[in-house]
Chain A
């Protein structure tokens, strides 16, 4: 029955996710995935990598290899919030990673403040959600995806 309710929600809101929290979402608080809205970052993934290169301090103790996935919302003004973290090992299984790595990577993600909001079909700025995944080997950042 619950599934039917999901379908109903889906039909009513036609492709929209809704969330309330620390971030002031625009309009009715509807959120759409980054790949539907064209959400972008000024300077692209290069600028995001540069920010991490400048601010991340490699960690050498504990579980220091794996992937930190940070999911967050970007409102119609380009402000971010509602950060959520999941961590995986290099075999993509859920696991824990050294807190210092997780805290640093999230803190830097929160400092990314050049988001170009996503838009709807009428070219109006709207809320989106996005994730970045940071791959670390021996405490050092090896890759940040997706673009």
Chain B
């Protein structure tokens, strides 16, 4: 009996010793792979500093840190606002495998960082890898994402050209019902910004036809109508938009603000100021 107890104790102590040797002194490659994964998970729960320290240590020890690993390390840093780290890692990932990373990177710079020039650089480079194929970074038609960049930079004519190209590319494979609400809506916004209110209204109507609860379409359509002196109908549409938004109908995203997203307070303010 004592012999067995001795064996168990020695076995237990040996295991502890081996673990200490492995995890504290030797630290083999798998240790740093796990360390990196744990660091990323810790950041998810908000332990930024500690998580980043673990990730950085793993990067130093693991030679050939891959683009995917750099990409993964950047994601949580963006969500926690650690922009220096997020961009440092994404720049490295994009340098290593631009054909894999640039689509996501461009999309992120567009929606999260609102950095349109840098977004265009990465989206253009990504698009150039497959010139005969329309890519869909994060699910968005790449021509649409590039058009958004130009629109937000104030280059409306270039944006309009790209929105038209995005629609054409969608129609190659599908009918008009397939065109996403956001593509028509953003085309309408661009026409509106170019001062082409009547044409813009035509496209706001297309979005309403595809989704009759689009608060943003009713809102901007109402504004366009008021601008061309159709005040009564315009105000009616602003009130429809307000009613819809109060009922929770509008386009939004869990993580990022969409372009020209409307808010109840915004519509109320517009109506009061008319």
In angstroms, Cα B41 to Cα A142, docked, is 32
Which of chain B's residues have a CB closer than 8 A to the CB of A33? 44-46, 79-80
Q: Inside 8 A of A43's CB, which chain B residues have their CB?
A: 263-265
Complex interface residues of chain B between 13 and 49 (CB less than 8 A to chain A): 23-24, 35, 38, 41-42, 44-47
A92 and B44 contact, CB distance less than 8 A: no
Contact among B24, B82, B256, B257 for A1, CB-based, below 8 A:
B24
- Assess the B265–A46 pair: CB atoms within 8 A: yes
Sort chain B's interface into a size bin: 20 to 34
Residues of A within 8 A of B23 (CB): 1, 4
A69 touching B83, Cβ below 8 Å: yes
Closest residue of B by beta carbon distance from A142 = B114
Query: Would you call B83 and A50 a contact (CB within 8 A)?
Result: no
Bound together, the chains give a CA A145 to CA B114 distance in angstroms of 8
Report the minimal beta-carbon distance from B152 to chain A, rounded to whole angstroms: 10
CB distance from B134 to the nearest CB of A (A): 28
Does B84 count as interface, using CB distance less than 8 angstroms?
yes
Given A4-B23, A17-B46, A46-B266, answer yes or no on A145-B83 (Cβ-Cβ < 8 Å). Answer: no
Q: How far is the CA of A32 from the CA of B47 in the complex (A)?
A: 10
B contact residues around A143 at 8 Å (CB):
114
- The bracket for how many chain A residues form the interface is 35 or more
Are B46 and A88 closer than 8 Å at their CB atoms? no
**B87 at interface (Cβ–Cβ under 8 A)?**
yes
Q: Which B residues, 216 to 244, have Cβ-Cβ distances below 8 Å to chain A?
A: none
> In the complex, what residues of B have CB within 8 A of residue A86's CB?
81-82, 84
How far apart are A48's CB and chain B's nearest CB, in angstroms? Answer: 10
Q: CB-CB < 8 A to B84: which residues of A?
A: 86, 88, 92-94
**How close is A31's CB to chain B, nearest CB, in angstroms?**
7
The interface of chain A, by Cβ under 8 A from chain B, is: 1, 3-4, 6-7, 10, 15-17, 31-33, 35, 43-47, 50, 67, 69, 71, 86, 88, 91-94, 129, 131, 133, 135, 142-143, 145-147
The 7 closest A-B pairs by CB, nearest first: A46-B263, A131-B81, A92-B87, A147-B257, A17-B46, A43-B265, A92-B83
23 chain-A/chain-B pairs, Cβ below 8 angstroms: A6-B50, A15-B44, A16-B45, A32-B46, A33-B79, A35-B255, A43-B265, A45-B257, A47-B263, A50-B265, A67-B83, A69-B83, A86-B84, A88-B83, A91-B87, A92-B88, A94-B84, A142-B114, A145-B112, A146-B256, A146-B257, A147-B253, A147-B255
